Amino acid sequence: MSDKKTTGIWKVISASSMGTMIEWYDFYIFGSLAVVLSTKFFPSDNPTAAFLSTLATFAAGFVVRPFGALFFGRLGDLIGRKYTFMVTLMLMGGATFVIGCIPSYETIGYAAPILVLILRLLQGLALGGEYGGAATYVAEHAPKNEKGYWTSWIQTTATVGLFISLMVILITKGLMSKEAFEDWGWRVPFWVSILMVFISYMIRKNMHESPVFAKAKSEGKTSTNPLKESFGHKYNLKFVLLALFGATMGQGVVWYTGQFYAMNFLKTVQSIDSSQVDTLLGIALLLGTPFFVVFGWLSDKVGRKVIMMGGMLLAILCYRPIYRMMYASTDLATKTEVVDQTKVVPSIKEIDATKMDSIYTTTKAYTDGTTVEEIKTIHFEAGKVMLDDKGKDKIETKVTKKINSSDKWFLVLMVFIQVIFVTMVYGPIAAFLVEMFPVKIRYTSMSLPYHVGNGIFGGLLPAISTYFVTTAKDAGDAEFYLEGLWYPIGIAAVCFIIGMIYIDRKINTLHD
């Protein structure tokens, strides 16, 4: 490729990637702050239910992504790629900023979670329209045999967006006290979005329309009804279904297990300090991100299928051993407590005239450097211990572990391995999808299977897997912490079989 062409495509990629990265940042900031948001926007009398409700609200954004794909995909195939993803960018930025301004449940009651849900749905619609447009736009600028390499830069944006969301949270936490962050500081990452969106808008507004789309439009070859042509004709619908069940469904669950489920697992199952988790996850993401480009480039040489299916197979085989080792690394039953350093501090918190909480804060140290803070809260009403919805004493125990350096680096390695699986399934997929569908209905056709696979099958994973873990724990299952993995393993296994058998090389040479 000539220098001029290379410079041109770098401009296209940087402008597209920046906006897409910001949209992922906006989308994931909600998930990264799920634990604190659950205390702000939902009733606090049942923390598990509040956390699951937050995950469900987070998931609602994923569920509407396919509708965004249909709505904005249709617009993109009718009026053009550039204008459509400018609209999605503004919609996303506005919704994110407003989430950061909503008063808490304590102030406005149920209006708070309802407003959050509405704005979360707008975020989902915007993202549904954004990604397909950016991937299509870059692919339509890229040379024929280098689509995997060039579109892989767009593929890094999701992970970079998640990484930046973690970094903004960490920096914000570092600039204020824990109390201030939990009081109002969690809003800052949402407000930061508006600044980034403005910068991206300024960059994007000078971009030109995709040359392939512009040519098709000038020749009158664009679609008049992209939805009907995409999903109303058997010839195209069969490829949409194959893309979903043979590629994006498995890719979605591998993506969300390796990044989001890993984060939730470290925070809520292993009970590791939130800032330590954000740091170690950030390191693993940073080390893993270049592999999106490596596998995208490699897919131009050896084919998309072998890399994507390889990543899926490795994930299926390795998830249980990886999570077993992760859990074991911080299991307090295998550590030796330094008993004379244990401290218990009792306190009383008056709720109202009849209710009070008796709180016991216990700090423990272990010989390997791990420290644990255990806060046991016993709820009293009229002098008696209150009962929960199962008829048991209402006692909550919150454990927070601060892990030592070697455990931290071991967990970085475990998450990094999972990120490598992510880069294998996700690096080549934009090129894979773009090549499956013709120009005139490409935006619509590729967006839907991507957002159903990634958004619904993947995005619902944290809620489903957390539920499996919680249920298995309540039932006394000794390996409860592995139960959440059956969902990604099952979905990825079906997807692997379908992909291996039904995807052939010819599919990706149909619309070069």
Partner 1 sequence: MNAVKKYLGIVWIALAIAIAYFSIGIFGGKLTSGKQDDLVFGIIIFFILLPMVVTGLTIFGWYAVTDEYEED
What residues numbered 383-422 form the site for partner 1, per CB under 8 A?
Answer: 389
Q: How far apart are CA 430 and CA 304, in angstroms?
A: 10
Instruction: Count residues near partner 1 (CB under 8 A).
Output: 31
Three-class secondary structure of residue 103 per DSSP: coil
Q: In angstroms, rounded to a whole number, what is the distance separating the alpha carbons of residues 259 and 465?
A: 13
The span of 54-62, 124-132, 148-156, 397-405 binding partner 1 (CB under 8 A) equals: 54-62
Q: Which of 16, 32, 39, 53 forms a contact with partner 1 (CB under 8 A)? A: 53
56 binds partner 1 (CB under 8 A): yes
- Tell me the closest approach of the beta carbon of residue 52 to partner 1, in angstroms: 5
In the bound complex, what is the minimum distance in angstroms from residue 49's beta carbon to partner 1? 4
What does the alpha-carbon distance between residue 495 and residue 452 come to, in Å, rounded to a whole number? 13
Exposed / middle / buried, residue 479 (Cβ in 10 Å: 0-12, 13-18, 19+): exposed
Nearer to partner 1, 65 or 82 (CB): 65
Encode burial over 430-442: b for 16+ CB neighbours within 10 A, e otherwise.
Answer: bbbbbbbbebbbb
Q: Which residues, 477 to 496, sit near partner 1 by CB under 8 A?
A: 494
Quick check: 463 binds partner 1 (CB under 8 A)?
Answer: yes
CB of 26 to partner 1, least distance (A): 22
Phi-psi region of 383 (alpha: psi -120 to 50; beta: other; left: phi over 0): left
Q: Of the candidates 134, 326, 403, 460, which one interacts with partner 1 according to CB under 8 A? A: 460
Does 63 sit near partner 1 (CB under 8 A)? Answer: yes
Q: Are 464 and 336 in contact (CB under 8 A)?
A: no
- Long-range contact pairs involving 142-147 (C-beta distance under 8 Å, separation at least 24): 142/9, 143/1, 143/5, 144/512, 145/300, 146/1, 146/300, 147/300, 147/431, 147/434, 147/435
Give the Å distances, CA to CA, from 293 to 274, 280, 288, 415, 468. Answer: 30, 22, 10, 19, 34
- Shortest Cβ 494–partner 1 spacing (Å): 8
CB of 245 to partner 1, least distance (A): 5
* DSSP strands (E only) in 72-223: none
Q: Which is nearer to partner 1, 8 or 43 (CB)?
A: 43
| 322: contact with partner 1 by CB under 8 A | no
Task: In angstroms, give the least distance from the CB of 46 to partner 1.
Answer: 7
- Distance in Å, CB of 508 to partner 1, minimum: 13
Map residues 222-251 to x or -, x wherever contact with partner 1 holds by CB under 8 A.
------------x--xx--xx-xx------
Q: Where are the alpha helices (DSSP H) in 175-187?
A: 178-183
Among 3, 350, 504, 512, binds partner 1 (CB under 8 A): 504
- Do residues 364 and 380 touch, judged by C-beta distance below 8 A? no
Per CB under 8 A, the list member of 467, 477, 486, 493 interacting with partner 1 is: 467
Can residue 70 be called a binding residue for partner 1 (CB under 8 A)? no
48 lies in the binding site for partner 1 (CB under 8 A): yes
112/452 with CB nearer partner 1: 452
Q: Is 352 in the site for partner 1 (CB under 8 A)?
A: no
**Angle at alpha carbon of residue 494, lines to 492 and 499, rounded to 5°:** 90
Choice between 84 and 123, CB closer to partner 1: 123
Cα first-last separation, the chain: 17
Q: What minimum distance in Å lies between the beta carbon of 452 and partner 1?
A: 7
370/470 with CB nearer partner 1: 470
Nearest CB to partner 1, comparing residues 127 and 452: 452
Q: Please identify which residue in 35, 452, 492, 495 interacts with partner 1, judged by CB under 8 A.
A: 452
Give exposure, 445-468, as e/b (b: 16+ Cβ within 10 Å).
bbbbbbbbbbbbbbbbbbbbbbbb
- Sign, CA torsion 118/119/124/125: positive
- Our CB check for partner 1 shows the closer of 237 and 328 to be 237
Give the whole-angstrom CA distance, residue 169 versus residue 157: 18
**69 Cβ contact partners less than 8 Å away, ≥ 6 residues apart:** 128, 129, 132, 444, 447, 448, 450, 451
Rule CB under 8 A: which residues touch partner 1?
Answer: 46, 48-49, 52-53, 55-56, 59, 63, 234, 237-238, 241-242, 244-245, 389, 452, 456-457, 460, 463-464, 467, 470, 494, 498, 501-502, 504, 506
